[in-house]
Every structure is written in structure tokens, then in C-alpha cells.
Amino acid sequence: MRRVTKQQKVLAITEILESYYPEVPVPLDHKDPYTLLIAVLLSAQCTDERVNKVTPHLFEIADNPHDMAVIPVEDIREVIKPCGLSPRKSKAISELSNILVEQYGGEVPKDMEALEALPGVGHKTASVVMSQAFGEPAFPVDTHIHRLAYRWGLSTGKNVQKTEWDLKRLFPRELWNKLHLQIIFFGREHCPARGHDPLKCPICSQYGRKTLFK
């Protein structure tokens, strides 16, 4: 591994990610902020691939908060069962849809605090919506990005909040939205949680923590 400064490492990792993923699609299929919000909510402890198989059936029934708000929770639950945690997620989808209708005229608010106040919507989900639906700078950190940031020596790995703070401090604000997607795609293909060989990883082999090689 190279002996480099933190600034050099950040620049090098940025260049590697850009070389592998100059264009990054949003992993969750959606057509507007509301359908993205629902898809991200469903993705908790579920793969994007499975969510993308479920949402067409759900959005065929209702693809806006006005329609979703009047659908029985049991019907929503039945459709989203493959995503797991269906009792909690169906309740959250119904409740947040009602709130959007009653308080926001059926529109998803373009505001982090307002999003976080919605049922079933945590900081990460709100960050994804702000970045991918509204183009506002955010750095959503899930367990995968949290793991990679630690592997690459960009954060201490104490918790996802600390990792988000570290990444926002290290990388330019204008890169946050794209970087978070680049890291996700890179992790899936080159730096997985299991069966990972750091010597074959384009980033870990050069900039990973020494403990990876013990």
C-alpha cells in the first residue's frame, strides 16, 4: 500500500470511483419524489433488485399519496410482503401518504427535517430523497458505505453518523450525490462484505487499512 496523506487518498479514491463509474443510475426505479420515497422506505433490509420487482405492482394500485392514503393498510401489506418488515412498512406508507395529503397538498416536501418527521423515514431515507429526487447535496450513508469508509481509512467506523460527518468533511460538497452512488456500485462489484480479497480490490489494495491484510 502507498503511504499517502489523507488528502491524497481522497483524491485518488475519487479518481478511481470516477474511472469505474463515470455515470451512475439511481438503483431504485421511480418516476417522481413520491415513488422514490416509497421505494427507499421499502429498501430497508431489502435488496434494490427485490424492491424494483415489488414497486410496479404497488404503484399500479397507487402511485401518488392521494390514492395511497385511501387504500387499506392490509392491501398495501399484501403487495409489499416480499420486501420484508411488511407490517411496519405498510403502516408507514399509509400514514405518510395521509400526512402528505393533509399537510403538504400531496407533494413530498423538499426539506430534510420535514422528511425525517414522516413515519418510517429516517435520516438516510430523507438524504436519498433530497439528493436523488431534488438534487440537493446530501451524503446518504447506509451500512455498505459505512463499511467501505472504514476499510478505506476514511472514517473510524464508530457509527453511521460519524461516517457521514467524516465523508462530508473530506469530499467536496458538489460530489456528494454522485459519490454516494459510486461507492455503492463499487462496493457491490469490487469490495463486497463477504469473500472480499483486499489484494484484488482496486482501492483496498492501495489505500485500505493494514488490518485488512492480516
pLDDT of the chain, 214 residues: tens digit per residue: 557 888 999 999 999 999 999 999 999 999 999 999 999 999 999 999 999 999 999 999 999 999 999 999 999 999 999 999 999 999 999 999 999 999 999 999 999 999 999 999 999 999 999 999 999 999 999 888 999 999 999 999 789 999 999 999 999 999 999 999 999 999 999 999 999 999 999 999 999 998 776 6
Q: What is the pLDDT of residue 214?
A: 60
End residue of a domain, out of 81, 98, 133: 133
Identify whether residues 104 and 57 lie together within a single domain.
yes
* Contact partners, residue 80, CB within 8 Å, separation at least 6: 42, 54, 58, 86, 89, 90, 93
In the numeric block, which cell numbers belong to residue 93?
Answer: 406508507
Catalytic residue list contains 67: no
* 1 inside domain: no
Residues 204 and 168 in one domain: yes
Q: pLDDT at position 1, please?
A: 57
CB 83 within 8 A of CB 54: yes
Give me the CATH number covering residue 120.
1.10.340.30
**Catalytic: which of 124, 166, 168, 178?**
124
Q: Which residue is catalytic, options 9, 89, 142, 166?
A: 142
Domain boundary among 101, 133, 165: 133
Residue 142 annotated in active site: yes
